[in-house]
Structure 1
Amino acid sequence: MILSWLPQDVSTFGPSIDSVLKLIIYVVGTAFVLAEGTLLAFVILYRRREGGRAAFVPGESLRQLAWVLIPVVIVAFLDVAIDVRAKPVWDLVKEQSPTPALTVKLEALQFGWEFTYPGPDGKFGTPNDLVQTTFLTVPAGQVIRLLMTSKDVIHSFYVPQLRLRQDIIPGREIPAWFEVTQPGKYEIACSQLCGNSHFAMKGILRVLTPEEYQQWVSQHWPKSGAGAGKSASSARSSASGTKG
């Protein structure tokens, strides 16, 4: 497969993004081969020869202009075709966020990640909120919503396995969502150069099975009853994250 070198895909919308990437690679790759092949052919066919003289070509005839106009039309058509194919994927990732089972506030800062999770009441800004750095713990198979902001400069939340990258801008709260299909640990990186220690701005997305996640909820909110008698949605909200 042409994309076998990509990281493992564990996101529900990952295959859609990969399909657009394949289309772009095929289109651009084909254009590159044709353009470079034509250039090489011209270099060989019209190379300098003894007795040969260079000719001035004004490019005013329709036949001469066709060498420019036809490629322009083809490139424009392919560009529109890629945009049309990518529009549903953009809407899926950016415009059509499903109802989340869990919402977490994320604050990026030089040089780390800070996650704030609502307590058993499911509300932010109450005494039972939890704040953790570095680790984001979520259940597999559930829609997770992030409300992201930056404390200082522009950062970018990036998890290659999720096919998710979102710039984070100071003064704005930017939403994003994902749903992980496989439990595991995945690195959270900042893909914007944000300062001298940018290289060290690393986080961990820890994805648990539903059973492990409920145990984790009970351990971190033992008085809330989230691990036993609370509804599943309240339990997921209350357990949005503590340090693993």
Structure 2
Amino acid sequence: MGVGTFVLADRYNIWLPRDVSEHGRVIDELFFFILYLTGAVFVVTEAVLFYFAWKYDARRARPGVEYTHGSHSLEVVWTIIPAVTLLFIAIYQMDAWAAAKMRPPEIPFTAEVTGRQFNWDFRYPGKDGQLYTADDIVRTDGNLYLPYGEEVLLKINSADVLHSFFLPNLRLKQDVVPGMEQKMWFKAKESGSFDIVCAELCGWGHYKMKGRLHLLPRTAYEAKLAEMEAEQNAVRVAEAN
């Protein structure tokens, strides 16, 4: 049953949510490579375990099992094989890691993401294109609006405790540490609305620390920014009066 579920899950693409990023294919290839590798090891190991349990059953084993203190040669083999396999995986994934974590695009920040118990807050640069100026647009409703089809660069930080900013459909996750500014970048290939979740246990309300990522065409994105700016200005005027 377990092996059947393993095979069918891949066939009907239910292991992972739909990928909408340019880089997600590489992440998925790594995931399935490791999954198939460990799945094969599991099947072989369980088959060998079952075989020896059956062959040396106490009711039929004549003579009985002989115990040994081990085999130096076998220990060398089952140490070298996993070590070489892990080294291969480490080298194989280096380009994917560098692209996702070490080579940010040289563009201004598209938005800032702040995690706090138990919400995601977002700050967008205003017309000057710079964060932390008077025309910034600040939203605390858990909805993040970004353009698709172009590079996006996010600044991510925490206002209180450890969080983890997770975009399952973009195959991206970034731990958020208080006092540390992190970066996340990607290029989405589809429009739509997708989940934002916190992947780090951050307190009693962790379960409700959710949000929505809305990927929009450039024109719709700019219109949404203008709409949010107008709403923010209206609130400021009302508060001033």
Task: Please classify the TM superposition score into its range, dividing by the shorter chain length.
Answer: 0.7 to 0.9
- Unpaired segments ≥5 residues, structure 2: 1-8, 231-241
1:122-201 pair list within 5 angstroms: 122-133=129-140, 134-201=142-209
Deviations 1:180-210 (A, max 9, x none): 1111001100011111111111111111122
Q: Tell me if 1:14 matches 2:24.
A: yes
Give 4+ residue runs of structure 1 displaced > 4 Å after superposition: none
Aligned to 1:107, which of 110, 114, 117?
Answer: 114
Once residues 225 and 178 of structure 2 are traced to their aligned partners in structure 1, the CA distance between those partners, rounded to angstroms, is: 31
Once residues 2 and 53 of structure 1 are traced to their aligned partners in structure 2, the CA distance between those partners, rounded to angstroms, is: 43
Equivalent residue number for residue 44 of structure 2 = 34
- Unpaired segments ≥5 residues, structure 1: 223-244
Q: Tell me if 1:117 matches 2:124.
A: yes
Task: Note the C-alpha offset of 1:109.
Answer: 0.3
The residue type paired with residue 87 of structure 1 is M
Equivalent residue number for residue 52 of structure 1 = 63
**Is the 1:23–1:82 Cα contact (8 Å) retained in structure 2?**
no
Task: Note the C-alpha offset of 1:67.
Answer: 2.9
Q: Tell me if 1:216 matches 2:224.
A: yes
SS in structure 1 at match of 2:179? coil
Task: Note the C-alpha offset of 1:218.
Answer: 4.4
Once residues 141 and 101 of structure 1 are traced to their aligned partners in structure 2, the CA distance between those partners, rounded to angstroms, is: 16
Equivalent residue number for residue 238 of structure 2 = none
SS in structure 2 at match of 1:126? coil
Once residues 70 and 47 of structure 1 are traced to their aligned partners in structure 2, the CA distance between those partners, rounded to angstroms, is: 27
Task: Note the C-alpha offset of 1:101.
Answer: 6.2
Deviations 1:161-184 (A, max 9, x none): 000111100011111112111110
Task: Note the C-alpha offset of 1:49.
Answer: 3.1
**Is the 1:184–1:207 Cα contact (8 Å) retained in structure 2?**
yes
Q: Return the structure number with greater relative CO, CA threshold 8 A, min gap 6.
A: 1
Bigger drift between 176-185 and 210-219 goes to: 210-219
> What is the percentage of aligned positions where both structures have the same residue?
33
Once residues 200 and 213 of structure 1 are traced to their aligned partners in structure 2, the CA distance between those partners, rounded to angstroms, is: 26
- Number of residue pairs matched? 218
Deviations 1:122-156 (A, max 9, x none): 12221111100211101111211111111111000
Once residues 149 and 101 of structure 1 are traced to their aligned partners in structure 2, the CA distance between those partners, rounded to angstroms, is: 17
Once residues 69 and 118 of structure 1 are traced to their aligned partners in structure 2, the CA distance between those partners, rounded to angstroms, is: 58
**Is the 1:99–1:143 Cα contact (8 Å) retained in structure 2?**
no
Task: Note the C-alpha offset of 1:97.
Answer: 1.6
Once residues 220 and 208 of structure 1 are traced to their aligned partners in structure 2, the CA distance between those partners, rounded to angstroms, is: 15
The residue type paired with residue 168 of structure 1 is V
The residue type paired with residue 43 of structure 1 is A
The residue type paired with residue 176 of structure 1 is M
The residue type paired with residue 66 of structure 1 is S
The residue type paired with residue 55 of structure 1 is E
Task: Note the C-alpha offset of 1:102.
Answer: 4.7
